[in-house]
């Protein structure tokens, strides 16, 4: 069982930070969605989470319909540098910045290559890291010296061509990426996050095989949850930075760089300890049967298309996530409520509905004589979230 100090850290995390932590514990990858207009802010928030909460380097990959394999590959790299932070490192102006102020910020966090099970503490890298891309003057020699970032934030991955999404799947499966001149290997602490803009979490997805590879998904509501790190970065509290706007902007600039090098909230040792606890969590026979019943009811739900995302990989992820949630709650056993929470996160991006493709004739009861028009009326407006809640209400919870 985790000690109280570690659990207090866990309980202080935001939902986004918890999604990242759960993925790091399981050494799996995730999909995070939000409103389409908020994808850029979400990427910046996760970049700050990676550096400040977990001390991991990050690279933001902007995808679109014309993204090439080379564009995707070269955007994964960061070039570590040593020495004090330089004010020359800039990034594009965020909507959180004042219009007349060009704040100088470092891009990404810093991290030693490290391991989940370090033998001894590794030295901290002294300077910021900058993504390597063709627009930044990336060359084959620079790529050979660079390394893949610990956290890859793939914005609008669903908009990328199918070939690019297949390349992303190969990166996740093999932990390697091929460039024109070399083969680059991902670091041991490696997390790939697909950022997708959608009107709801149930509508955010990528190509089927890549979609099934993602461990969990999370919907971030920009109105309800906001972007705490971005707010703190660009909108300091009145009086904290003095009355002079120029002095305040200068202070924000320097503090945004210095904070990256402060002690991270979670160390590699703590993450590896939580990982060990999750593997040791016990699942009783009754809870295991409850998990199996949920999967069976979900697979046969009338709104779910045949073979609609209820895969063996998803079943494995469901059990794995339930054990990880037990560790984060200070438990050495899995409870039905944790299984229910895991179900909402594991299947949100996976489940395919018959109405999503506009094919009510694929609903199971039609083959037994149900009227297609009545089926359409019954299923219309039903989302993935509604189906998951219906399954949880239908399956009896063990005592």
* CATH number where 318 lies: 1.10.8.80
Confidence class for position 248, pLDDT limits 50, 70, 90: very low
**134 and 156 assigned to the same domain:** yes
| DSSP conformation letters of 188-236 | SS-EEEEEEE-SSGGG----HHHHHH--EEEE--TTTT--HHHHHHHSP
Is the same domain home to 107 and 250? yes
Q: Tell the burial category of 16 from Cβ atoms under 10 Å away from its Cβ (0-12, 13-18, 19+).
A: buried
Q: Which residue do the tokens 């091929």 mark?
A: 178
- Assess whether 286 and 262 both reside in one domain: no
Residue 289 lies in a domain: yes
Of 54-63, 205-214, 286-295, 378-387, which gets the smallest average pLDDT? 378-387
Q: Is residue 340 part of a domain?
A: yes
In this structure, is residue 399 part of a structural domain?
no
For 251-282, b/e burial (b = at least 16 CB within 10 A) is ebbeebbebbbeebbbebebbbbbbebbeebe
Residues 267 and 285 in one domain: no
Q: Output 329 or 119, whichever has higher pLDDT.
A: 329
Q: Is the domain of 348 the same as that of 390?
A: yes
* 180 closest CA partner among 33, 271, 330, 73: 73
Would 65 be classed as within a structural domain?
A: yes
CB 360, CB 379: distance < 8 Å: yes
CATH of residue 256's domain is 3.40.50.300
Closest CA to 342 of 327, 309, 313, 320: 320
Give just the sign of the alpha carbon dihedral 178, 194, 336, 354: negative
Which residue in this structure is represented by tokens 């030693």?
A: 112
- With respect to residue 8, please indicate whether it lies within any of the assigned structural domains: yes
Residue 392 clears pLDDT 60, i.e. is over it: yes
- Summarize pLDDT for 336-349 with one digit per residue, the tens: 999 999 999 999 99
Specify whether 202 is located in the same domain as 307: no
Half-sphere exposure of 382 (CA within 13 A, CB side): 24
Q: Is the domain of 265 the same as that of 287?
A: no
Q: Which carries the bigger pLDDT value, residue 40 or residue 353?
A: 40
Domain boundary residue among 236, 253, 271?
A: 271
| Tokens at 374, concatenated | 């009545």
Banded model confidence at residue 117, pLDDT cuts 50, 70, 90? very low
Same domain, 266 and 285: no
pLDDT at 235 over 80: no
> How big, in percent rounded to 5, are the helix, strand and coil portions of the chain?
45, 10, 40
CA–CA separation, 227 and 35 (whole Å): 13
Tell me, yes or no, whether 107 lies in a domain: yes
Query: How many distinct structural domains can be found in the chain?
Result: 2
Q: Can you give the residue range of the structural domain that contains 287? A: 281-394
Strands 77-80 and 147-148: antiparallel
On whether residue 303 sits in a domain, the answer given is yes
Q: What is the mean pLDDT of residues 165-179?
A: 92
Q: pLDDT: is 94 or 230 the higher one?
A: 230
Q: How far is residue 197's CA from residue 193's CA, in Å, rounded to a whole number?
A: 13
Q: Are residues 215 and 302 in the same domain?
A: no
Distance CA 22, CA 159 (A): 26
In the prediction, which pLDDT does 243 show? Answer: 46
Residue 51 included in any domain: yes
């Amino acid at each position: 069982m985790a000690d109280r100090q570690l659990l207090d850290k866990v309980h202080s995390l935001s939902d986004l930070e918890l999604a990242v932590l759960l993925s790091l514990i399981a050494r799996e990858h995730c999909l995070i969605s939000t409103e389409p207009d908020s994808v850029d802010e979400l990427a910046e928030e996760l970049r700050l989470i990676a550096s400040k909460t977990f001390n991991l380097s990050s690279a933001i990959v902007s995808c679109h319909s014309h993204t090439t394999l080379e564009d995707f590959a070269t955007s994964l790299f960061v070039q570590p540098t040593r020495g004090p932070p330089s004010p020359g490192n800039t990034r594009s102006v965020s909507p959180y910045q004042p219009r007349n102020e060009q704040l100088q910020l470092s891009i990404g966090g810093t991290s030693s290559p490290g391991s989940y099970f370090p033998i001894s503490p590794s030295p901290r890298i002294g300077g910021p890291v900058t993504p390597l891309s063709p627009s930044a003057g990336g060359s084959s020699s620079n790529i050979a010296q660079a390394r893949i970032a610990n956290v890859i934030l793939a914005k609008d991955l669903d908009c990328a061509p199918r070939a690019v999404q297949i390349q992303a799947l190969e990166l996740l499966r093999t932990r390697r990426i091929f460039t024109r001149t070399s083969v680059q290997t991902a670091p041991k602490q490696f997390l790939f996050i697909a950022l997708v803009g959608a009107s709801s979490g149930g509508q955010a997805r990528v190509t089927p095989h890549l979609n099934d590879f993602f461990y969990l998904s999370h919907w971030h509501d920009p109105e309800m949850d906001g972007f705490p790190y971005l707010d703190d970065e660009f909108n300091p509290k009145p009086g904290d930075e003095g009355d002079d706007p120029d002095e305040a902007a200068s202070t924000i600039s320097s503090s945004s760089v210095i904070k990256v090098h402060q002690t991270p909230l979670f160390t590699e040792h703590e993450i590896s300890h939580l990982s060990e606890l999750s593997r040791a969590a016990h699942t009783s026979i009754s809870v295991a049967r409850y998990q199996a019943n949920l999967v069976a009811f979900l697979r046969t739900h009338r709104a779910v298309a045949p073979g609609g995302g209820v895969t063996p990989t998803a079943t494995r992820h469901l059990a794995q996530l339930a054990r990880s949630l037990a560790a984060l709650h200070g438990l050495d056993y899995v409870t039905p409520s944790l299984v229910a929470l895991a179900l909402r996160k594991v299947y949100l991006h996976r489940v395919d509905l018959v109405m999503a493709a506009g094919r009510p004739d694929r609903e199971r009861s039609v083959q037994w004589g149900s009227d297609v028009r009545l089926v359409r009326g019954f299923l219309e407006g039903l989302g993935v979230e509604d189906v998951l809640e219906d399954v949880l209400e239908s399956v009896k919870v063990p005592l």
